Structure 1
């Protein structure tokens, strides 16, 4: 059973999935998730932030890494982000390594145009997710796979990514991923840590046994400290192993070592690679290098 998405011209997408599996390099893929500057920054701060983002993207893509791009908006500011990428990134940057997120929380026409623009800009893929239903604009379609299906019809050469949450019921998540309508060339997961990687192991073991072949990249969050207020705030958006993290930081472990342990655990769980988030733009390449050195990747 092959769960890699269909399309009229799959050659580019097949190259993408091979790269995400690390087949060309013979090693697990380590990618990053970066957040473009917020739209409401003043002119000076905005310029500085885009300079930092440009440098980080140039360094990461120059190293052959994929860069997943997201922000905290659910409206027209996401289109502005795509426009800023087109206008502000250096011409020499390999845009095929840039993968923005797109939620269903827009009109269908907007989503189709977004995919067309991304493909025209030279981007190879989008990660298409449903979006938080608790607030903001309503979804144009109930489920992300329905939007991926529409985008596949409109831009068949564009790679499309899906989403899985190992902390939800394994039967539910496996059912989503094994559904023939998934329409995903790769899958990103909710962030996991070495304190709770068993959930990821269970999900990957289950779907691989059922013939799921698309690359899976596990999310890893770079915690810089165990500040209780920060951890409490983050817990509104992602599973935070606060007790374990607090014990490690109290014992004097550097932040890079804590993250490295999660990178190792994710790869040992069977993921084809990881994407590391919450790296500060200004020192992101250097910090990731220290994390990977400690992880032995």
Structure 2
């Protein structure tokens, strides 16, 4: 109940408005066509820290494709420090919610990594589960943290000694997040944001002041219709405000995130829809775009509406 009260207060505070995020303003390197991985990967994981000596150090969990083991049908095999698979992979910045941690979202993020994405998940300094000075108001600073992480990854990709160097497709980045992390994700799409940021997934979240401006990017919203913490109406209002191609995946009767747990109703549909959305937006995979309606369709469990998606 304490988490629910904190999250409900978060919605009130964020809907009241807060300062827009500070985004990177470079246009990024030229975008070239990418080939969709023909198979699933095993997954490696490592920890990095952005600005370790600064006023706001940012620990980050990074999941990435690796060739080190055969993927398991029950979920990806995850090996700390395993070698990165050959090739360059698009990047997903994943933001956790209040009183949470990146590893609590591993059932989703590791499966995205197995599908051919590098997933970088920050532990936000004042909203994570172990924060000593927890404050929900700090969510307004997290979009800028996301952009700090993007700039760090751009630099890291050029450092020959780093295991991820040469493996990050930093021209193809998506942002995603759950609850407060969904608000954080929306807050990264502000006026003047870099064209590196090509797509967003807002799960059980909504918009921040200044969201949905700048270069148009496709957005996917995922929300439980019975969410008592962040009401679905908040997510639908953000969907209505967003610009350009967008989709809204609703889960009737579901709450704030049980559909993110493997085996629970809706998980398979959320996984398939988000994965194919990322394949379409970051790999230019048109068959994945055409699969979205079938991915999301399970009568009584999920429903999907879309706006301006390419034919």
TM-score (norm 1): 0.36
Q: Which has the higher contact order (CA 8 A, sep 6+)?
A: 1
Q: More helix by proportion, 1 or 2?
A: 1
TM-score (norm 2): 0.35
Q: More strand by proportion, 1 or 2?
A: 2
